[in-house]
Structure 1
């Protein structure tokens, strides 16, 4: 493998599969090639209704890329990263080539240790506010990956976002094909992908500020409402090309791991991004010239479980013809 052990590249792939993805569809593949690891979008796992443009798959593959980067760094060989390195292979998202040895930083070690603990937490969070210094850490995490993170402050901003999110959610609920696809990725028992009913939020109630996807029919504890004033963050990047969406995925994962390392929980709100008119309305409400890529709900939650993943051997592609053994 050109001087770098295949075992360490496999560890990078194992970290990569812990990334988040829409409906836990896990739309990625990995290839070990000439001493490097490549991350590819898997067209067979494309959500044809919810992700017509491929935005969500590129975001997920970007997040997987960031995890793989961390794994290489903590094993002493940080990677040179090339996004979309081959125009003739559009599914090739990134190539990570290990560079010179150096000790990992404490920040890299902490974020890498957060990978197996990070998961989407759809249950109500406690009313305890996220401290100002932690909010700054989240903003800086996005900025370090060439993205921006806007934290909505005050009920005026929250109510405006909620109206946009609710409107988008209603559009998606009226789409029978969208709902059928969502149901196809929902299951009652154990599966290596998709979302188990037990991981879904309790059924929404009329007083709720934010929409929730329906993964089951579980009701919440009487008297337990969702947060009246949650911390909502909007992640965005300056452009909206495929490479920009991959960049956003890397920033997303760094923000999520930073939140996990700080003892916070998070869940993702994608409805305002999935509906083009809602996304444009959200962009204008932020006063940003860039493009929002995802909304996050962040706070202190009760511990939960990570969703299952396919085995790394199921997502490894064979070497391309002519590759070095």
Structure 2
């Protein structure tokens, strides 16, 4: 699964449309944008190079310094028995529960979704013994330092946005 995830990362970087979309998610330091991921919230790459973490910037200058991850990684594959809209919703609800439970227990999580974005890699991620395994998300669990806080949108921004978010309008 990690090899498939690692194979997806360079694909994302050579596709100009994907690179532009991913960079649009990132807010530069000092930005007042109501939505997006602050550069300061991005996680570090694995110093050993075993864990294929998502590089949202594609720019070494914006990447946080590498850190050593656990020697024995713990992974979970969130999958559904079908691949319909209601299954995507259930997978999202399960992911929410897993992430909140992990946080409450002091675990850090990293969604490794790169392979899920490419149909051939997502298919290869399916569990071989299960005929009905539709992978939805690969999650890394581990321990580490607290991440930096991320800003929260104001109530005014959330209840009366100036323009609808493209992410909310997008369908799978």
Q: Which interval holds the TM-score relative to the shorter structure?
A: 0.7 to 0.9
Two-structure CA RMSD over aligned residues (Å): 2.2
Give the Cα separation in 2 of the matches to 1:275 and 1:237. Answer: 17
Find the partner of 1:171 among 11, 15, 28. 11
In 1, are the aligned partners of 2:26 and 2:37 still within 8 Å (CA)? Answer: yes
Give the SS at the match of 2:159.
coil
Q: Which residue number corresponds to residue 105 of structure 2?
A: 262
**1:306–1:242 Cα change, 3 Å:** farther
The Cα of 1:309 is off from its aligned counterpart by 3.2
**1:239–1:316 Cα change, 3 Å:** farther
Q: Which residue number corresponds to residue 144 of structure 2?
A: 301
Q: Which residue number corresponds to residue 275 of structure 1?
A: 118
Q: Which residue number corresponds to residue 219 of structure 1?
A: 65
The Cα of 1:213 is off from its aligned counterpart by 2.3
The Cα of 1:203 is off from its aligned counterpart by 4.8
Consecutive unaligned residues in structure 1, runs of 5 or more: 1-160, 318-325
Give the Cα separation in 2 of the matches to 1:312 and 1:240. Answer: 35
Stretches (4+) displaced over 6 A? none
The Cα of 1:245 is off from its aligned counterpart by 0.5
Give the Cα separation in 2 of the matches to 1:185 and 1:179. Answer: 10
Deviations 1:70-90 (A, max 9, x none): xxxxxxxxxxxxxxxxxxxxx
In 1, are the aligned partners of 2:112 and 2:137 still within 8 Å (CA)? Answer: yes
Q: Which residue number corresponds to residue 33 of structure 1?
A: none
In 2, are the aligned partners of 1:173 and 1:179 still within 8 Å (CA)? Answer: yes
**1:203–1:256 Cα change, 3 Å:** closer
Give the Cα separation in 2 of the matches to 1:229 and 1:308. Answer: 32
In 2, are the aligned partners of 1:237 and 1:244 still within 8 Å (CA)? Answer: yes
Give the SS at the match of 1:315.
helix
Give the Cα separation in 2 of the matches to 1:231 and 1:290. Answer: 20
The Cα of 1:243 is off from its aligned counterpart by 1.4
Larger Rg: 1
The Cα of 1:177 is off from its aligned counterpart by 1.2
Give the Cα separation in 2 of the matches to 1:286 and 1:309. Answer: 43
Give the Cα separation in 1 of the matches to 2:13 and 2:106. Answer: 33
1:4-83 counterparts in 2 under 5 A? none
User: Structure 2-normalised TM-score?
Assistant: 0.78
How many residues align? The count is 153
The Cα of 1:232 is off from its aligned counterpart by 0.9
Consecutive unaligned residues in structure 2, runs of 5 or more: 161-172
Find the partner of 2:49 among 180, 203, 208. 208
